[in-house]
Every structure is written in C-alpha cells, then in structure tokens.
Structure 1
C-alpha cells in the first residue's frame, strides 16, 4: 500500500460512528504508511488536552487543523497538499466524501496516485438536492473510487455520479470487533448493577435522537408489558432527545419499566449490549428522506454479542439484518409492529438463541474489521 494521507473532519477523540470507523480502519493499516489530517475536536484547554493525549497514543502521525470543522477551503486544501508532499504520500483517503472529496483535483495535481472517498448516510441525502448532487458528481469525477455502506446508499449515491464513476464504486462498510463484542461480554454485571437480574431486557444502544426510534420503543412498551409484565426497556446512550423520551415514558405510564443509562464509555458498551435479551432500534426516515440511517452498525454489534435484533426500515439499516434469520425488520415509527416482534422474541428463548447464533456467525463471516481493512488496503 502506498503511504496514505487520511483527510477527515471525523476522528477521535470526537465521539461518533464515523470517527470510530475511521480510527478502527487506520489502526489496521501499517502505521508507518499512515498520516492523518483531522480537525480539532473542540476548543478550550480540556479539549486540547484530551486531543493531545489521544494523538500521542496513536501509532501513526496525526496532524490537527486549527478549525473544529474541516472544510475544503483554499487554506485547508493548501495544508493538505503540503502534508501530502512533506510525508511523501501517494494515496489519499477522504474519511467522508462530502464535502472533503472536493479537494481531490488539487491533491492529484500534487502527486496523489490513488484517491478514495468514503460515503456514509448523509451523502445519500445530498444526492437528492440539486446543488449537493452536483458536488457529489464532482467528487466522483475527481476520485478513483467512491465507497458505499450498503445497497441502499449505493443506489442513491450512484444516481448523482457519472456512469463511469458509478461503475467504480466499491463497498466499504464499518466492521465489528468480534473479540470485543461477544456473548459473555459482562452483561450479567450490568444487569445486577441496574437491578435487572431475572427480568427480560430489551436494550437499545444509540445516540438519543428522533431518527433512532427510541420513542417507538416507549410507545410499544405497554403492548409488550401486556404479554411480558416484567419486561424492561434499557436505553443506553445520551443525546438531545432524552428529556422528550422521559416525558413520553411518564405520559405513557411505563416510566417504571424504562431505564436510561446516559452516555456510556466505549469500553463498557459490549457489556451493555450483553445486558439485553433482545436488541431493538426501530429507526425511521425523516425530513423527506434527508435524515436516514446509513447502515446501523449497532445491529451488527448486537449480533456479534449473540442477540436477536429488531431493526427499523430506514435507509440502509436493513442491510445490517438478515430478516427472519438474525432478527426482524419493522416499519419505523410503527409501535405495533415493534411490539409484536419484541414479544415474539421475549417469549421464545429457542428462537432468540438461534437468531443470536446466526447473527454471530454472520458477523464472523462478513463484518470483521480485518476483512474490511484488507478491502481498504486494496483500494489504496
């Protein structure tokens, strides 16, 4: 693999799924062949110290821009070109194609031989807007490969590209560390700490925002409790929607059967998945298709932990579920459908075990980080 410059606005210690994806991939490349050019996480002493500690721990070089939002401005483009030349990089990986991929022509002129632009969920939204669609087309023309998460994102992004650029697209989804997410990851300890021992647990691990569908789970809970009276909904994560969810749980009369953990450190997430009997996140599409789920790595992490999953039908979420094998896909925003599938799983331990085992095997077959990192090395 040529020495590679990774250009990204999304990199730890800033939290998030794209950040974890890029970092996990970078760690699986030859560190002597990687240079990361990233934005600063946040201004202020605390943010600067956290970023400095994180960067010092990495096996590769990390260069931070002074801005907290890396955009393809003339100044940022000049800095990227300078880094490409200073470190003798011949490949470039744009951590998010839009909008950073617009720098591709300048970097190619500076000596880059391979340019790869990775798309996530938001580019599928861009493809529906005239101006943004034109920018995606330019990114496709300027790079060698535009990657996609799954069939949903591929089909929508391809419409914005030239036929030649669309033909060069390659799948590069995030992966799962099957050694970290596995059955027996510490769920019993979490149950005991939260007072949930011996109770059927539906767990949802995600940022608390409307698209994810935690409100659908709260609305589904009365129906679930009719059939499984001691069931509890464990909502793991933080976000701006928490107050609304707490209010909804009180109004629905299920507050005593809902537990909110708040934000959980990454290293504790496997145990929180393991605290559940069923994983559910019935995500839905919002804003006329502009706010969609790109893939839903949480479903795969849950599968690796041995849980059956209940997914919403937003965007590429169904790409992370084998419907009827590793779990079920329901219409987002439909509490009745979610409740029906959750009850079925809670009442049938044999079915739960079978789906959990199939999900674990599927992750090992297709979604392991080492397999996906090899794909990235080939693209670069």
Structure 2
C-alpha cells in the first residue's frame, strides 16, 4: 500500500495525537508499505526528512493561533494559505496514495486532503482524537457551531471511515457527525509498553529532593479538559492522612487554575509543577510514582493514563467501566474508578493506594497486563492495517 498520513500535529511536537500518528506511520513503513506524512511546520523541524527507509515527512509552512481558552489552551498550527491546494496536489499526485489516514477532524490539512480524496476517489480513514468541547459555555457554543457548520458538512462530502477510540467519542461522533461517515471502526489508542519500562525512580526523587515521600504523579499537559483542579481539591484530605505526600505535575501547563486553587487551599507546598520533560525521562517519573492520576473530568482515558498503566503504576480515573468498547475496566483490578466530581472518593482512593503497597503492586501488574493485551502498539497497528486494506479493497470493487 501507499499510505498518506495527515496530521497538523506531528513530532517533534508532543501530544497523544502526534505520538500515535508517528507510531502508526513508522509501523506502516516497517510492515513494508510506502508512507508519506504531511504535517505542519513546527519549531525549526526539517521541512522534509526520511525517518525510515519507506517513511518520508513533509512539513508545510504554518502559522500558530495563540494559546487561548477557545483553542483549549493549545497553540494550534494551521497551514491554510492560497498556495496550499496547489502544493498539496503536486505533492500527493507525485506520491499517488492508495489510501489516506487523517488525524483530527478540525484541521485544515484534514479538510484539504478530504477534498483531494473526494476528487481522486481515494478512500480515507479519519481518527478523531479530540471532541470539540470546552467547559466554558460561551466557547462550547462556538465549538458546537464549528462542528455543525464546518466540520460536519465537510465530512458529509467525502464520508470517511472513522476510528472510534472510546465510548465518549462514539457518542460524540454519532451525535455531531450523523451521515458524515461511511462506517465506524472501534480501535483504542495504542501505546508502546516497552518504552515505559525500565525507568529509574531514584533519579527523579533525587533531582527534586523528594526522598521516599508518598508520590502522586499526574502526567500530561494541563489544559481545561484535564485541569487537575479536582485532584488538587482532593489533596488536603490526602495530606491530613499522609502529610509528606507530594503531587508532581509532569507536562506543559497551558491552564494554571490548579495552581491558584492549591494556593487557596494552602497545599501549594505539596504541588510541584515541573513542566514538560523529554520523552525519554517519562519512564523515570513513572518509576518514581506510587499513584498516577489525571483523567478525572469525564473526557475518557487518554494516552498518558495507558502509558502509566503500561509502566505498572496504579491509576485513579473517573471513567466508565465500558470506556473502551469491548474491553471491561474492573475497578480495584485494572485501575481504581471514581465517580465524576466526587472529591472525597478521589482522596479516599489515592490515600488507600498510598497506604497499601500490596494493592499498588497487584493493580499495577493487572493494569500492565491489560495494556499489553489490548493497547500495545503492535495490536493496534494490525487493526489499523486491516481497516486500510478493506478500504482499498472496497474502493477497487
């Protein structure tokens, strides 16, 4: 196959969508397929490079939207300019893709390649990573408008198959994009379990002067949809039982309300926001962690949580047991599930884990096994390849 992978987010940019697009593109190439990645320029990364013998990346000139609450506090890069259509046409005609795998429904590169796919009769698979939602009512209304009058009409014109990663996304797609897809394929997000193994927790504890204190790590960028406020609000009750406990926030802080709340509650001394770290350092932070916790706002279980489970760290999450269609999450076995918005339950779950090394080890090992069976990248890659093959087969009739 000749596979075109499209995502405005791609390494060296960090984030779940970027890492998954990269991992799948490399997996496609290593499976013997020719792969072209088209993405947005980012922080001086080469305009073109060969990452694998069969994998070429082209980064198109882009402009970033400033970090605001409307952009969910991310710096969003767009390539939209008068020359984009011609540049893409020349690039893609030369590559001649058999199938297109797009990441992200609200990016200009997705829209541009959607029209290319429609004109050329090329099948497309779209992975929807993010729901256009915002906790602020005003911004949420803008997102609803964008979905209804921009995204949905584009989807209805070319009708891709859509990858559904969890039950919240399933409900969202069926509600917002009805009649805008040719079918749904249920494939969870993939992670590399081996990348999370072998971390040295002592390095992290020594670096930050943490000694052997109970340690909660919260992994991933801080944005309004994962703002850590409820986690900080649970901290006073945890500290009442275990006063030496520390909370380490590993990720870029795009939205700092949790720090303000920590000051108001008098727990600022127990919170250490270290910012983003190198990808290679993440296993060390997970090895240092007694508990990981950040998916608390009902937006599903993201890549960072699965990576924490892959490292054998017990996680506390506010998701449904059926978060992943066909995969049952059992509280107290694979993870600890807490009700949405229940601060007492969050504090109780974390405190219980911090007090019980045996429970931490048991849940951590069971979570690691679950990730190996269902979310390991080779498992997820095979599922994507099967869908891409079926799309090409159907298009050729």
Match of 1:252 in 2: 265
**Does the Cα contact within 8 Å between 1:282 and 1:330 map onto a contact in 2?**
no
**Does the Cα contact within 8 Å between 1:233 and 1:257 map onto a contact in 2?**
yes
Alpha-carbon RMSD:
3.0
In 2, Cα distance between equivalents of 1:131 and 1:257: 40
- TM-aligned CA deviation for residue 116 of structure 1: 0.9
Equivalent positions of 1:96-107 (< 5 A) are 96-99=104-107, 100-103=109-112, 106-107=115-116
The number of residue pairs the alignment matches comes to 362
- TM-aligned CA deviation for residue 371 of structure 1: 1.1
In 2, Cα distance between equivalents of 1:25 and 1:340: 38
2:60 maps to which of 65, 83, 86: 65
- TM-aligned CA deviation for residue 163 of structure 1: 5.5
Structure 2 unaligned spans of 5+: 64-76, 135-139, 389-397
In 2, Cα distance between equivalents of 1:17 and 1:164: 24
Match of 1:290 in 2: none
1:139 maps to which of 145, 155, 160: 155
Match of 1:224 in 2: 238
**Does the Cα contact within 8 Å between 1:114 and 1:144 map onto a contact in 2?**
yes
TM-score (ref. length: structure 1)? 0.84
In 2, Cα distance between equivalents of 1:97 and 1:265: 28
Equivalent positions of 1:122-137 (< 5 A) are 122-123=131-132, 129=144, 132-133=147-148, 135-136=151-152
Equivalent positions of 1:333-348 (< 5 A) are 333-348=341-356
Deviation per residue, 1:308-355 (Å, 9 max, x gap): 1111349x9788954332222324444222101111111222211111
SS of residue matched to 1:28: helix
2:103 maps to which of 91, 95, 105: 95
SS of residue matched to 2:22: helix
**Comparing 59-68 and 74-83, the one that deviates more:** 74-83
SS of residue matched to 1:326: coil
Report whether the alignment pairs 1:267 with 2:306. Answer: no
**Does the Cα contact within 8 Å between 2:131 and 2:172 map onto a contact in 1?**
no
**Does the Cα contact within 8 Å between 1:217 and 1:282 map onto a contact in 2?**
no
Report whether the alignment pairs 1:325 with 2:333. Answer: yes
Structure number with higher helix proportion: 1
Q: Which runs of 4+ in 1 moved over 6 A?
A: 124-128, 316-320
**Comparing 206-215 and 335-344, the one that deviates more:** 206-215
